[in-house]
């Protein structure tokens, strides 16, 4: 059994279903989950089951598309699977990981007064994040980058780290709710995500409509099965990026919009209940102020003696 650190292209090697574990994938998955749990224990805080599930699902998504066989097929044999890996990294794993980090842990990992905190604040401002994400998107899908970096384990690992890092930066202002860290809401968030979905169509169109293979790595790879030539593979890759990636992204946009609408509705209901309570309190105060004082049985002091003789004299008169 062969062992490797990370998936990479193996030019000329015919595909076999012989398992090849990628040690780096296992180590990084263990580090992600173990580091998350250890951070909670050091802080003396319990794990939030909901947030922990999101974090674990994000790590699982990374693991599945990076480990054998998907990782190896996507890097060295089929552009379609390679683009599917990018879609999972950018639109599944990254938002799940961000949604699984509690605010206190984010502050612990990236304190505001530290270099890490200042760097995070700068990179996750939405105009900067939009530029970073799309520069990485275009830069890592041009032929010279793919054909050069994905032929080595270190290069393939660097590309995957760039994809995940850029996606985390891009999703940060849209997923997180800390306004002091640059979080955005509708309608700006909808525009922000929509702009990226439109820009993603550009490389997808090149893949779909190019009359020649763009990547020598996939063109020269031994075919996995008959009838799926490099042109068909490349066109399918463009469709995956455009259609599947678009559907996933728009699904997340819809979910974020629904969450924002529910939060606003809950806030409006709370404000309405508060207004009603204040109105009832004012009405009660006004009603109490108009009510005459209650008679306690003690006659008011008029300053005139009320002896029995005077009363009798008044009666006689």
The tens digit of pLDDT for each residue in 266-276 reads 888 888 888 88
Report the Cα–Cα distance between both ends of the chain, in Å, rounded: 130
Q: Is the pLDDT of residue 105 over 90?
A: yes
What value does the mean pLDDT take over residues 149-161? 96
176-220 per-position pLDDT tens digit: 988 888 888 878 888 898 888 888 889 999 999 999 999 999 999
Cis ω before 250 (30° cut-off from 0) = no
Please state the pTM of the whole predicted model. 0.82
Give the rounded percent of residues in the chain with a pLDDT score beyond 70.
90
Q: At what angle do helices 126-139 and 201-209 cross, to 10 degrees?
A: 20
For residue 304, the model assigns a pLDDT of: 45
Q: Which pLDDT belongs to residue 307? A: 42
Q: Residues 225-237: pLDDT tens digits?
A: 766 899 999 999 9
- In 200-307, alpha helices (H): 201-209, 216-219, 230-239, 245-290
SS3 187: coil
Q: How confident is the model at residue 48 (pLDDT cuts 50, 70, 90)?
A: very high
Provide the 3-class DSSP secondary structure of residue 22: strand
Residue 55 has pLDDT above 70, yes or no: yes
């Amino acid at each position: 059994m062969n062992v490797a650190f990370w998936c990479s292209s193996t030019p000329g090697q015919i595909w076999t279903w012989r398992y090849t574990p990628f040690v780096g994938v296992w180590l990084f998955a263990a580090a992600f989950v173990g580091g998350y749990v250890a951070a909670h224990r050091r802080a003396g805080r319990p794990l939030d089951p909901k947030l922990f599930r999101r974090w674990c699902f994000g790590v699982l998504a990374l693991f599945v598309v990076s480990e054998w066989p998907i990782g190896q097929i996507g890097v060295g044999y089929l552009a379609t699977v390679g683009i599917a890996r990018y879609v999972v990294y950018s639109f599944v794993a990254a938002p799940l990981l961000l949604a699984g980090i509690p605010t206190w842990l984010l502050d612990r990992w990236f304190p505001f007064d530290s270099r890490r905190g200042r760097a995070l604040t700068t990179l996750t401002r939405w105009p900067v994040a939009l530029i970073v994400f799309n520069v990485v998107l275009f830069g890592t899908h041009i032929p010279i980058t793919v054909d050069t970096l994905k032929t080595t384990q270190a290069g393939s690992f660097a590309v995957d780290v760039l994809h995940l890092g850029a996606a985390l930066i891009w999703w940060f202002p849209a997923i997180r709710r800390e306004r002091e860290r640059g979080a955005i809401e509708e309608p700006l968030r909808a525009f922000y995500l929509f702009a990226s979905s439109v820009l993603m169509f550009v490389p997808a169109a090149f893949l779909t409509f190019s009359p020649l293979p763009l990547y020598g790595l996939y063109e020269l790879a031994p075919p996995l099965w008959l009838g799926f030539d490099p042109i068909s593979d490349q066109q399918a890759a463009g469709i995956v990026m455009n259609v599947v990636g678009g559907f996933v992204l728009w699904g997340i946009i819809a979910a974020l919009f629904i969450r924002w609408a529910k939060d606003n509705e809950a806030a409006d209901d709370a404000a309405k209940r508060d207004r009603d309570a204040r109105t009832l309190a004012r009405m009660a105060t006004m009603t109490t102020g108009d009510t005459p004082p209650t008679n306690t049985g003690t006659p008011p002091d008029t300053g005139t003696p009320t002896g029995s003789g005077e009363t009798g004299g008044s009666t006689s008169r």
